[in-house]
Structure 1
Amino acid sequence: MPHDPLIYRHFTHADIPAAHRLSVAVGWPHRLEDWSFVAQAGSGFVAIDGDAVVGTILNWKFGSASASLGMVIVAPDHQGLGIGRQLMLLVLDELGPRTTFLHATREGQPLYEKLGFAAMQNATDQHQGTAFRAPVMPLPPGERLRPIGASDTLRLVELASRASGLDRSMLLPTLLASADGIALDLDGELLGFALFRRFGRGYAIGPVVVMDSPGGVRARALISYWLALNEGTFVRIDVGTEHGLTGWLEGLGLAKVDTVTRMVRKGPAPTPVDPALRQIAIINQALQ
């Protein structure tokens, strides 16, 4: 049973080890380094019982209009006490009028609905696996895959922001510092990219952003590139159900292990400036 009263305060860098232990306790795959990255990119709150962190929540602001929240965890022996709700209220108060997104577990969705979140039309499929063999995907004439360079950053931010409808100007440069990247290039014009980085039990592909039709060859080429280089390595990718890639990924050996609901509170969902520019795979379920 909790001590009386619980203390709620801002998340600090010193809370990362305790937050990591909490996520391990509920079966999440995040490494200490994964916590460090998301904490550096955002802010949040913790619930304290005595000397123990028993609840966490983080949020990330994308400009002045949008945000996401995640890493909502309550210790198993403290669930049902209203801790998650109080953490949510603290973050929503901090975010103010921003349109806010989250990915909801089945257990968390009823609480989020009570706090004004509504399910969006498209969900997110989580795929993962180790035993895959990626085919070589031919590209249209003149197009090629090449490594991302430092001079590409501004264009990558532009593409990522337009594809997601979220301002990625602060987040993406931080992500690029810890990820490998491949770009899709047409005569010097960057049409898309995919990042590959350490995460959880192995590696993650995402975001994948590209000018393409749903389930198109460009998206498949970007994803296949990383799979072909890392056969036998544990890889995870989270893709929107609207892109029609689930069957293809399963055929490559990346099993669908979960489908999570994407939810939004306040305002319309973001839409890409160009409907052909798509965020095929998200960064992760917290950062969208």
Structure 2
Amino acid sequence: MLLGLGCGYVAIMNNHVVGTMCMTFFGEVATIGVLIVDEKLRGQGLGGQLMKLALEKAGKRECRLIASSDGKPLYRKLGFDQLEAVLIHRGIVAHVEAPDGAEWAIRDDFDQISEIDRSATGIDRRALISTLWNKGGFAVIRYAGKVVGYAGMLPYGGGEVAGPVVACSTDEARRLLSFLFSHRIGALIRVDLRQQSGLADWLNSIGIAEVSTRTAMRRGKAHSDTEAPFRTYVLATSQFGFP
């Protein structure tokens, strides 16, 4: 999925892959993810070399990534600024009632979903949404027949990942996730949550507990922040950057 939306690099030593990095491109924004270096070779500059390739490939684009605590010193050195915390939640879904007002998306909703996502993020992620659409499922909330919020869910490793979630309020974001979870009772779910979403306590209460914290970071700024009513509450996993 990542390579279909961008490109990737590997570090090779003695015919073995010892480092990886992938990039995705959304107009004037590039996201960087899956930066991994073999544990035995860390501290030798491989991560920095892979990041140098990424920044050269990105050119003048704004670059975004989600950093672990180990990676933050390198990214700061390369000019990345800290934005906000991202809370990684994972767990088996307990019983969740399907809420009123949310339903499965239909094909005719795709353009509206893409547009509210662009309004919330300030970038055109239609290619990402199309990829997620073809591999997973989407829920929506409608008012007067118009889509005003959406949430995605797709297979991820040994379980599933919920996200992205774009809505006008925390209540709507929770309703969207509740709808998805009500169809996946007993499933292993991951949620990459913006710290300011207001959803962390609720996720913990239904068995999807916080397991780690990461940091959203950005280098450069290619677009103006949006003041639209739509907001991203959950990421499409940290590999696809922020938001």
TM range (shorter): over 0.9
Other-structure match for 2:235: 282
Post-superposition Cα deviations, 1:124-145, rounded to whole Å, max 9, x if no partner, equal 111111152224545xxxxx32
- Correspondent of 1:244 among 193, 198, 220: 198
- Aligned-partner Cα distance in 2 for 1:125–1:198: 20
Other-structure match for 1:26: none
Offset at residue 110 of structure 1 (A): 0.3
Offset at residue 201 of structure 1 (A): 2.3
Other-structure match for 1:29: none
Other-structure match for 1:58: 22
Map residues 61-76 of structure 1 onto 2, 5 A cutoff: 61-63=25-27, 65-76=28-39
Whether contact under 8 Å (2:81, 2:217) holds in the other structure is: yes
Higher RCO (CA-CA < 8 Å; seq separation 6+): 2
Between structure 1 and structure 2, the one with the greater Rg is 1
- Aligned-partner Cα distance in 2 for 1:76–1:269: 36
- Aligned-partner Cα distance in 2 for 1:109–1:270: 25
Other-structure match for 2:116: 159
Offset at residue 97 of structure 1 (A): 1.3
Other-structure match for 1:105: 68
Map residues 5-44 of structure 1 onto 2, 5 A cutoff: 37-44=1-8
Amino acid at match of 1:267: K
Other-structure match for 1:218: 172
SS in structure 2 at match of 1:57: strand
Other-structure match for 2:163: 206
- Aligned-partner Cα distance in 2 for 1:173–1:105: 28
Other-structure match for 2:139: 182
SS in structure 2 at match of 1:259: strand
Offset at residue 273 of structure 1 (A): 4.0
Amino acid at match of 1:44: G
Offset at residue 268 of structure 1 (A): 6.8
Q: Tell me the number of residue pairs that the alignment of Structure 1 and Structure 2 aligns.
A: 241
Other-structure match for 1:227: 181
Give the number of the structure whose residues are more often strand, by fraction: 2
Whether contact under 8 Å (1:125, 1:239) holds in the other structure is: yes
Q: Identity over aligned residues, as a percent?
A: 31
SS in structure 2 at match of 1:107: coil
Whether contact under 8 Å (1:272, 1:278) holds in the other structure is: no
- Correspondent of 1:194 among 151, 169, 175: 151
Amino acid at match of 2:23: N
Offset at residue 253 of structure 1 (A): 1.5
SS in structure 2 at match of 1:231: coil
- Aligned-partner Cα distance in 2 for 1:60–1:131: 30
Moved over 6 A (4+): none
- Correspondent of 1:49 among 6, 9, 13: 13
- Aligned-partner Cα distance in 2 for 1:159–1:129: 29
- Aligned-partner Cα distance in 2 for 1:203–1:136: 18
Consecutive unaligned residues of structure 1, counting only runs of 5 or more, are 1-36, 139-143
Consecutive unaligned residues of structure 2, counting only runs of 5 or more, are none
